[in-house]
Amino acid sequence: MQPGDAAAVRSLVLAGLAEHWGSVDPSLNPDLEDLATAHPGSRTVVAVDGAGMLVGTGTIVPRGVGSAEVVRMSVATSRRGAGVGRLVLDALTEVARSWGAQRLVLETTADWSGTVAFYERCGFRITHHAEGEFGRDAWFERLL
């Protein structure tokens, strides 16, 4: 991600959340104002199409020895099913490997069946469910 991509990353993630929830309150997502500061040591990757439009993003955050967490994954609605999400996830995985991570974790809303299925197709398995602030969350793990 380049510094000039921050606004497009924020917009893409908020648009994805609004699609799932019907609406979104940006104030509930303050980390999107500055991902690097909100998630120290993290790296955000972006996917850009041939026209220069940002169509996918995700952030990888170190989480202790040997672990990293995927956060803020989002793909433009018009690009879902075209492999963009897998490309972003593969890039995040390579960053985590370069840090020495042997395990990736992530969390998403359990009711988002398409999102859950995507992560399962990418080799993640559900480790547990937990009640989150906005409903039931599914937690995933993938060993590298």
Residue ranges making up the domain that contains 133: 3-143
Q: What is the pLDDT of residue 3?
A: 77
The count of structural domains within the chain is 1
**Contact present, 87 and 47 (Cβ < 8 Å):** yes
The pLDDT of residue 1 is 77
pLDDT recorded at residue 133: 83
**Could you give the CA distance from residue 123 to residue 133 in angstroms, rounded to a whole number?**
26
The CATH number of whichever domain residue 95 belongs to comes to 3.40.630.30
Whole-angstrom distance, CA of residue 142 vs CA of residue 52: 31
pLDDT in tens, the chain (144 residues): 787 899 999 999 999 999 988 888 888 899 999 998 999 999 999 999 999 999 999 999 999 999 999 999 999 999 998 999 999 999 999 999 999 999 999 999 999 999 999 999 999 999 999 998 889 999 999 999
Its pTM stands at 0.93
